[in-house]
Structure 1
């Protein structure tokens, strides 16, 4: 018990000590808290001030960083502006395009800290500088001296300029335009610059294309005055085809190099580009047409050949010079109408000129080939070369309307179904042949000596027949209808009969038997026969028969020999054997063989010597004198 009590007292003592210590600690802590409160009250203003200073420091630091950033941006903007204003430099085109593209992107998306108006003006300046470079490159490619050889060669676009223009045009096509960026402040100005550059492209390339072709155009006109008509017309057609080749090449270039590639802009630009080419074609065609109209008879085949060859170009002309340029005018079609009008006029004039030759106003008439015969043959032989054009023109004129003065109304349209085009051409050929034969017959009757007239007629009709039927030098026989061939052969036989009648009938008449069979009559017949034979011989020395037809002469000689020599032999056998004269050689001057050789001498080959001009003139004078005696 005592122990427990002692422990309890000990615990109570410890508890009292603990309570005292707690009271002391509480007193100390209270005092410390009071002091802390006093310290906090003293430090709080300083803390608040330091917080404010910290925030101000951070703001100052951020401001300094922003200032540095703005300063850096301003330096970059100034560099971009300087680069754009200076323009693209050689070897730095891509850098220039990147700057313009970056400035434009900043304007579109508002990422640049500059005035919108200034930025738009900068983009516009960059676009103008690039279009100026575009124009410069096009000008370099469209200058110099084109290839001017004897044959036309297409002058290609310089590769250096082409390689430089490709990327540039590709970039120009990405610039903002009102159609694609309606709210872009520089779109309208950029479009105006591109339009101006594209117009300059059309002007420069059009002038260059004309420069490449005009020398050849002048050459075509100059050669048309002296060159064969068919060939000259063919050259004209080749020149027009070359012009269309140039137009096609320029169109393909325009598709690649036009900054504004919309359909409307392409049509307008291409129309401006080909305008010089159309002017060149119109002036060249006008010169050719004027030459044809000045002398339609001389240049008939120039007109026909030109019409035929230009007609082949109509399809390409419609495509490139009209449809792709958005034009309704068709200068080639108008030119074809003009040339066709000349062609239509030429046919009646040809017939009229052939008939007019019958008046004999072409100078002194000889027994040789007449100019109208030679010119008509040349005309007919050229028809196959321009058959399509001649056939079409004749069909347009109307079947028979070329026969002026025969009661036919010129200009009357052909009745469909009456005849096809080939039949119309055959009818025209018949009328030409018939007209020239009629003229030759009239001319052969102009003199008072039928013998010379018959030689003239047989020479010309035979030449006509040989060149058209027997030995044609052109593929003309298919164009000559059976009536045409019949009229030539019939008139050849008639001309030959007239030749025999006027030149050999008097000779044959001397050998005819008469009632008076006395010696004097026989002597007179022999004398008369050899006198007439000598006259015929002299006549054939002056007037050669079928001079350019060896086979014809040989055939003619055989026929004459068969006609004369057997009759002479019979007469000699019947009367020459009698004692009609003591000196028969006085009257029978040649044997039948000698007479045959003499007759064949009429048609012998000429010696080939060149006859002096004075002698030829004298021979013509003698023939003319004998013809009209």
Structure 2
């Protein structure tokens, strides 16, 4: 048993020795490896110190190389427009008439982009190229402008005669659609490139100015005959003739202008951008509006020279221009202010005319040196009322004028200086009723007329009877002319004043009839016997009454009859000698009948037996007097 155990220990001991031997070898190898690592670390530091600068330089070279590549690319891009110049130059110099227009514009667009790139490069070496491209682009744009101009001129070679279109109510001609498309294409390009090639901040593109010049001249030339006609038709054949609505050519002028202007707006819109419409349209109409303004100034001078008869032309012009400006404003949004400025002088003249017409009425009456001796009305009454009737044809413009003047602003010292006086609160009364203001003006006019006629009649006509007939005749004409015209609904409230004046004239006329009425008044004594009693059967016993009179009383009654007959016959003759309006004669006759018949009837009933029916003193019986009075009608 010992021998095997020793053998096992000997084997394990041998393995341990082998293990120790390997460990020694590992230690030796580890030392060698450690030494190698130390040497490698030292060598690495040396290599790092040697290679570090080389690596840094390599990175810089890479960045530099990248920059060089970019510079080369930039140079290529910079050179590209220069390389393109020769190709575009051939197209541009050939001109748009020898090249398809869209290709030509595309060439210009490419040239514009090239020029933009060159300007951004900001290289001194490219300045010459920038100048050359700018010149080339300007030349190309100028050629396009010439095409734009030529197309417009072709369409404006023949002016139109607006009267033909207005008379037939036909639409005014427009630029053809194919031309509109070409003009729009050119304008779009020029508008886009104008800002870049212009050397300063200039408002308005070349195409805007070209269009406004050519089409503006076309419009003005087309309207020139109408402008001339509006002035020539204002010339008066008769100095005293009152202007009649529509006899002047201004209405046709305005309709022709409206038709042409609206047609031109339809031309402008397809060619230009929305932002350009108002500018181009206003510029195009400018020349025509200047001629319109000139024509209105000439008409205003004519109106001022014939204000009393042609003020109505001024009212008509205001109405026409207001309507025109509103229509154009509604459809185009333009020109309203320009048209209002053009009509302003006539508006001021029309304002002044209201006061001048009142003053004219007053002055014409004051300068009368005689009135009709038969009590007939005077022409100024009919003329004044005809003037007011005529004014009703111009209520819209007159309402506008009177509203701006304010109620009563037409009186002396107001209307004549309206253009320089400060505005009053009445002028800003937005709720003012123009028709009511006109009614007030018409009332003031009639009051002025009648007051001055009454004053003049007191100076020039003898006797209140004649004065009363004169006033009544004029009042009748006024009343009739109000009721038979458009004045009636406007002056409904003036009836009371008319009635007051009618009563005044009647009272003045009846003054003369007091004399014969006075002869029919007698004195009765209540303390005398034989006095007829009132009541009874209602019949008066004239014989008994006359018998009961003393000789003196009988003589007095006879004298009363004689005086009555003389006075009555004289008044009857005078009444028939007066020239009375039909209504006045009827009305005054009834007034006389109302007074005289009862008085004479009572007197005759009492005293007709004074001459026992011989007719020596009692000329008229009851029926004869009634017949005579009816003859006054």
The total of aligned residue pairs comes to: 489
User: Can you list the C-alpha shifts for 1:136-186, whole angstroms capped at 9, x where unaligned?
Assistant: 443343214524349456775657x6144134224424657773895xxxx
d(CA) in 2 for partners of 1:198, 1:165: 16
Moved more, 383-392 or 433-442: 383-392
d(CA) in 1 for partners of 2:422, 2:195: 63
Q: Contact (CA 8 Å) 1:465, 1:488: kept in 2 or not? A: yes
The residue aligned with 1:460 is 474
User: Can you list the C-alpha shifts for 1:314-341, whole angstroms capped at 9, x where unaligned?
Assistant: 44566789x758xxx9443334543343
2:509 maps to 1:499: yes
With over 3 angstroms needed to count, the CA separation of the structure-2 counterparts of 1:102 and 1:448, relative to structure 1, is closer
The residue aligned with 1:355 is 362
d(CA) in 2 for partners of 1:313, 1:240: 7
Q: Contact (CA 8 Å) 1:526, 1:588: kept in 2 or not? A: yes
Moved more, 532-541 or 416-425: 416-425
User: Can you list the C-alpha shifts for 1:236-291, whole angstroms capped at 9, x where unaligned?
Assistant: 46744652443232122022245xx5845x55543431122111221122123223
The CA deviation at 1:524 is 4.3
The residue aligned with 1:253 is 267
Residue 554 of structure 1: which of 561, 564, 586 is its match? 586
The residue aligned with 2:573 is 538
The 5 A counterparts of 1:577-592 are 577-579=609-611, 583-584=614-615, 587-589=617-619, 591-592=621-622
The residue aligned with 1:4 is none
Q: Contact (CA 8 Å) 2:171, 2:259: kept in 1 or not? A: no
With over 3 angstroms needed to count, the CA separation of the structure-2 counterparts of 1:243 and 1:158, relative to structure 1, is closer
d(CA) in 2 for partners of 1:303, 1:591: 64
The CA deviation at 1:459 is 0.9
2:300 maps to 1:289: yes
2:308 maps to 1:273: no
With over 3 angstroms needed to count, the CA separation of the structure-2 counterparts of 1:566 and 1:208, relative to structure 1, is same
Q: Contact (CA 8 Å) 1:233, 1:306: kept in 2 or not? A: no
Q: Contact (CA 8 Å) 1:202, 1:269: kept in 2 or not? A: yes
Q: Contact (CA 8 Å) 1:240, 1:281: kept in 2 or not? A: no
d(CA) in 2 for partners of 1:393, 1:198: 38
2:521 maps to 1:512: yes
With over 3 angstroms needed to count, the CA separation of the structure-2 counterparts of 1:178 and 1:558, relative to structure 1, is closer
Q: What is the SS of the residue equivalent to 2:511? A: helix
Q: What is the SS of the residue equivalent to 2:308? A: coil
The 5 A counterparts of 1:386-425 are 386-404=394-412, 411=421, 413-415=423-425, 421-422=432-433
Q: Contact (CA 8 Å) 2:365, 2:453: kept in 1 or not? A: yes
User: Can you list the C-alpha shifts for 1:445-498, whole angstroms capped at 9, x where unaligned?
Assistant: 122233221110111123333444xx35214444454xx443332221121111
Q: Contact (CA 8 Å) 1:198, 1:269: kept in 2 or not? A: yes
d(CA) in 1 for partners of 2:195, 2:364: 79
The residue aligned with 2:223 is 213
The residue aligned with 2:629 is 599
Q: What is the SS of the residue equivalent to 1:247? A: helix
With over 3 angstroms needed to count, the CA separation of the structure-2 counterparts of 1:218 and 1:598, relative to structure 1, is farther
The CA deviation at 1:442 is 0.8
Q: Contact (CA 8 Å) 1:304, 1:389: kept in 2 or not? A: yes
With over 3 angstroms needed to count, the CA separation of the structure-2 counterparts of 1:96 and 1:83, relative to structure 1, is farther
The 5 A counterparts of 1:3-152 are 84=94, 87=97, 96-97=100-101, 100=104, 132=146, 134-142=148-156, 143-149=158-164, 151=166
Q: What is the SS of the residue equivalent to 1:350? A: helix
The 5 A counterparts of 1:441-456 are 441-446=454-459, 447-456=461-470
Q: Contact (CA 8 Å) 2:190, 2:205: kept in 1 or not? A: no
d(CA) in 2 for partners of 1:394, 1:601: 49
d(CA) in 1 for partners of 2:570, 2:394: 48
Residue 433 of structure 1: which of 446, 450, 464 is its match? 446
2:604 maps to 1:572: yes
Q: What is the SS of the residue equivalent to 1:299? A: helix
**TM-score for both structures, normalised by structure 2:** 0.63
User: Can you list the C-alpha shifts for 1:581-603, whole angstroms capped at 9, x where unaligned?
Assistant: 7x42x555555444434433333
d(CA) in 2 for partners of 1:129, 1:418: 56
The CA deviation at 1:120 is 9.7
Q: Cα RMSD over matched residues?
A: 4.7
d(CA) in 2 for partners of 1:479, 1:224: 32
Q: Contact (CA 8 Å) 1:381, 1:473: kept in 2 or not? A: yes
d(CA) in 1 for partners of 2:260, 2:350: 29
Q: What is the SS of the residue equivalent to 1:368? A: coil
**TM-score for both structures, normalised by structure 1:** 0.63
Moved more, 437-446 or 121-130: 121-130
| Structure 2 residue ranges without an equivalent (≥5) | 1-86, 115-128, 525-550
Q: Contact (CA 8 Å) 2:191, 2:205: kept in 1 or not? A: no
The residue aligned with 1:166 is 180
Q: Contact (CA 8 Å) 1:458, 1:495: kept in 2 or not? A: yes
d(CA) in 2 for partners of 1:528, 1:150: 80
The CA deviation at 1:342 is 2.6
